[in-house]
Structure 1
């Protein structure tokens, strides 16, 4: 973006801390690209020495390059709708993610010491345990746009095209500072030892390994899978970090229930049901909470009663029992 336009944006954002900082960081990035590194370092030190940022989720930066037509069919931008207060994570995952954010914000200093930045993550765990939500919130915390890979477009029925499509997608992430998110990653990275897979899919995995190896993103690559045992053995070492999203324990469930009912009048303590919900995913627990809340809207009452919650919990248990009967068939 032209310097004049950036200066206009900077002045227009004065008084709005998050907007002002976002534009200032764009100006610093522009100076770094022009090899004005001394000026960029001075500006960054001045920015960091200023007032501390508020705890609200940062706004994503505007793209610095035009959206490339070559990748337009294979990625879609996801606008953030959640912030860090909308998710419950294990202590281990919080520690790793905070460390990655700190590395990203000190990337230049780390590289000056000849060290690499962790930028490739693999999220593993059962469905409904927060992998996609975590990717969205992580991108928002960094102030980076989130792009989700459209696997239905990426995987082509024509021999040889899938690897070409993957190359275009990785080329996009190489140029565009962003978080590139591969959901259902096992569809691409399935083990090559599977005798049922044909040679074309094995070639796709070979290409994928090379692209991940050679990728030096300006942001992050995040791949998520529910079927980690199906991944090719060579995939694992390509990622700087592997985060496990397990079904929540009682303490995490209690925090999640408090989160879901924080703006809703209730006549009982939802945390008392934490033990009964162990083994449920966050998505299943959220469905229970949503159904209980709907009851007071439908019946025009002012508070959620414990019976509303129990009825919703019974419905979810019935649904789970039906799915368990189908599990051997799926």
Structure 2
């Protein structure tokens, strides 16, 4: 028995008071449901304080405060079904390692995702009125701007498992097999409440009128369009692409919502830097560098911050200096210049 139950049981023994007996039953019934358990416990403590049983009240409150907190990791809304043998080669279950405090979204995207969460939570009411809940989303934007991270955090907020489609295995050298593999994935999504995430979606949803495209590849895209049209996933289907211009024109209307992830503006960069250095001693003002960081992705900003912090650790200094940060920015800019040369060659 945990201390709170033990202390209250000692006080309760032999009293036979109906109100306290009802509270005891509520306390026992709510054990394992953290929020409800604590609410009943607070009610008991308040009652003891009102009766001037201050020693007991203090003891109960200490027991409540030192009780181990419930794990914050959300529960899935349904138990996981085993991977069907047919789809197991193409799907990977990913355990969330981030939460909503780890992402910076634009005001527009914050509104969109809050609306999606609210819609999901009131889904039964919406369906009873003959309306559908948005469940198929397309994320667009340049690399490193938060698409994959957002899919992970969105799944965690919903309390749904996140499954990532392994495109390298899904796309077979035999294109006929690729269409079959896609069917297996969608069959899994139809049965399992989850967030099913297709990264680099353009790899299988390229425009069918591109010069040199194989007829068989066009049939794969046709199959993909049919699957997306017909599926009503138990959770969510999320596709992400860096190359939205390469998607087949017919893809767009198959999604209930399209979300664009742009490179962060100055305000978002400032918030990101504050988040990255919140637990680090710094000897400079990151706001002085906002102009030179304009146009960087979150992935690039993260690399700059991490490199600056490591420089201070290597020199055994307790603070990250402005020089550390400047050198890290210069290294990132050098990397960008060289990368642009390679990709444009």
Task: Answer whether TM exceeds 0.5 for this pair.
Answer: yes
Could you tell me whether the CA contact under 8 Å between 2:145 and 2:299 is conserved in 1?
A: yes
Query: How many matched pairs?
Result: 286
Could you tell me whether the CA contact under 8 Å between 1:267 and 1:304 is conserved in 2?
A: yes
Residue 205 of structure 2 is aligned to residue 203 of structure 1: no
1:124-163 → structure 2 map (5 Å cutoff): 124-163=140-179
Q: TM-score, normalising length from structure 2?
A: 0.79
Structure possessing the higher radius of gyration over alpha carbons: 2
Residue 131 of structure 2 is aligned to residue 111 of structure 1: no
Q: 1:293 aligns with which of 289, 309, 317?
A: 309
Please provide the CA RMSD for this pair: 2.0
Residue 313 of structure 1: how far off its partner (Å): 0.4
Q: 2:287 aligns with which of 250, 259, 271?
A: 271
Q: Residues 281 and 159 (structure 1 numbering): CA distance in 2 closer, same or farther, change over 3 Å?
A: closer
Q: TM-score, normalising length from structure 1?
A: 0.83
Gaps of 5+ in 1: 1-9, 21-53
Gaps of 5+ in 2: 1-27, 39-69
Could you tell me whether the CA contact under 8 Å between 2:225 and 2:251 is conserved in 1?
A: yes
Could you tell me whether the CA contact under 8 Å between 1:191 and 1:230 is conserved in 2?
A: yes
Could you tell me whether the CA contact under 8 Å between 1:18 and 1:59 is conserved in 2?
A: no
Q: Matches of 1:315 and 1:282 in 2, distance apart?
A: 16
1:211-250 → structure 2 map (5 Å cutoff): 211-250=227-266
Q: Relative to structure 2, which stretch is displaced further, 261-270 or 181-190?
A: 261-270
Q: 1:86 aligns with which of 75, 80, 102?
A: 102
Q: Matches of 2:164 and 2:189 in 1, distance apart?
A: 11
Q: Deviations over 1:234-260 (max 9, x none)?
A: 000000111101111000000000011
Q: Matches of 1:323 and 1:68 in 2, distance apart?
A: 41
